[in-house]
Structure 1
Amino acid sequence: MVLPKLTRNLPTCHISALTRQAFPDLTLADKRFFVNEPVDVILGGDVYPQIMLDGIRKNVLGSLLTQETVFGWIVTRRANSIKPTNTCVSYYNEISLEKQLASFWELEEMSKERKLSEEDRYCEELYKKITMRNEDGKYVVSLPFRKDYPVNISLGRFLQISYFQFYRNEARLSRDENLQKEYNRVLNEYVELGHMAKIHTNRTADSSDNYYLPHHAVKKEESTSTKVRVVFNASQATLNGTSLNDILLPGPVLQADLTILILRWRLFKYVFNSDIEKMYCIAKSC
């Protein structure tokens, strides 16, 4: 261990300068032993026996021990201070070369077996059963509800909360004319595509047959394609504290670990990267 220092200045307790008058016939190794100063040198146990001489006096002033060394006489006694010196704590961690190489090998290995939980397996089987293609060739996927819905868990009333979220969003849009105009354009596009429908006024607030997705605008000026996005909040709880996300299965993680993806790129000459521009979900009525 290489440390900047082993202890602080010594002595740490107060020693009167008059103490040296108790040894008028001894030449002390440290004539300034009562002064709080840095330690000049620390001798190991292998050197200590070589500096000791024959002179020794016991019970000096009742409890002191004096010993003669090549540097002069040294005085030994238990210090009165509760904590005479500092305690230096060092942490040492040894990692062998074999362990470091093994970590690289484990990083290079690709997982061959995909382990799924019981819930993830159920979600995959459910996805295979409920996925279909319509006459236009588009895929239609129903929402993957949990097994215990609606017997043990159910959605509560949500229309009042949806109204509150809608009015708050409208108040925010009214303060930005350009944002409101662009946001209304996106919503009108949803209506034209059949992804959104107007709520009839005869729908009662106590009805819990349907869940209404609250939405708000997210503005991103630096975006080159879509500067205003409509974000739906399926985590908004109903009056009984249950949200749409609570009764749906999240499903397994489909994308591989980023490290594995990068390692796979090294196996091929060309790499293709793609993204889904828009994805719509047609849900059955709750």
Structure 2
Amino acid sequence: MKGNLTIQEERKLKLIEDGLTYDEENSCWIAKYPWIFNRSKLPYNFSVALARLKATKKETEKAWSNTMHRISRKKNQDMLDRGVAEKLLKSELDYEGPIFYLPHNGVYKSYSSSTPVRIVFNAAASYQGISLNDLLAKGPDVMNNLLGIKL
């Protein structure tokens, strides 16, 4: 696969690979953010993220019953339980480096019994012309080209 990559793609892939370490004790991979731009350039987007959160809450309460609200809370708790999200400690709230809030919302499918709510994070959401996706390296496209697949 590396033979088909541009030099820029190879550099980004190396940055991603160099940031990966396997934690044998906890049987998990740890990944560093593969910054390709200076993260101190991140604008403080709290107001937009808070507005998005309030709109999502209002939409949830208006369009869906309290049942959907409870399911959304369960999804949040599930992320905490699985370790894919964590609550910040009070000491972590005093962080003085760059902060960029990642907007998210629930996608509701009332007809689905297995996943009536799916939490979606939007790293492409921009604020002052900058998104988190703009600042992080992306790996190469590993999807097969559908036009090249013979049936």
Q: TM-score range by the shorter chain?
A: 0.7 to 0.9
More helix as a share of residues: 2
Unaligned runs of 5+ in 1: 1-111, 264-286
Q: Does 1:172 align with 2:62?
A: no
Shift of 1:120: 0.8
Find the aligned partners of 1:219 and 1:142 in 2 and give their Cα distance: 31
In structure 1, the partner of 2:105 is 216
TM-score if structure 1 supplies the norm length? 0.45
Post-superposition Cα deviations, 1:132-159, rounded to whole Å, max 9, x if no partner, equal 112222122222221xx118x8211112
Unaligned runs of 5+ in 2: none
Opposite residue 45 of structure 2, the aligned amino acid is: F
Q: CA RMSD in A?
A: 2.8
Shift of 1:223: 3.8
Q: Does 1:139 align with 2:29?
A: yes
Find the aligned partners of 1:183 and 1:154 in 2 and give their Cα distance: 33
Shift of 1:182: 0.6
Shift of 1:222: 4.2
- SS of match in other structure, 1:231: strand
- Checking the alignment, whether the CA contact within 8 Å between 1:133 and 1:140 is kept in structure 2 is yes
Instruction: Give runs of aligned pairs for residues 1-286 of structure 1, distance below 5 A.
Output: 114-134=3-23, 135-146=25-36, 149-150=37-38, 154-175=41-62, 176=64, 177-194=66-83, 195-198=85-88, 209-223=98-112, 225-238=114-127, 240-262=128-150
- Checking the alignment, whether the CA contact within 8 Å between 1:154 and 1:247 is kept in structure 2 is no
Post-superposition Cα deviations, 1:40-69, rounded to whole Å, max 9, x if no partner, equal xxxxxxxxxxxxxxxxxxxxxxxxxxxxxx
Structure with higher Rg: it is 1
- SS of match in other structure, 1:216: strand
Query: How many residues are paired up?
Result: 145
- Checking the alignment, whether the CA contact within 8 Å between 1:157 and 1:208 is kept in structure 2 is no
- Checking the alignment, whether the CA contact within 8 Å between 2:2 and 2:10 is kept in structure 1 is no
Pick 1 or 2: higher relative contact order, CA cutoff 8 A, min separation 6.
2
Shift of 1:203: 5.1
Shift of 1:116: 1.3
Find the aligned partners of 1:170 and 1:188 in 2 and give their Cα distance: 17
Shift of 1:247: 0.6
TM-score if structure 2 supplies the norm length? 0.80
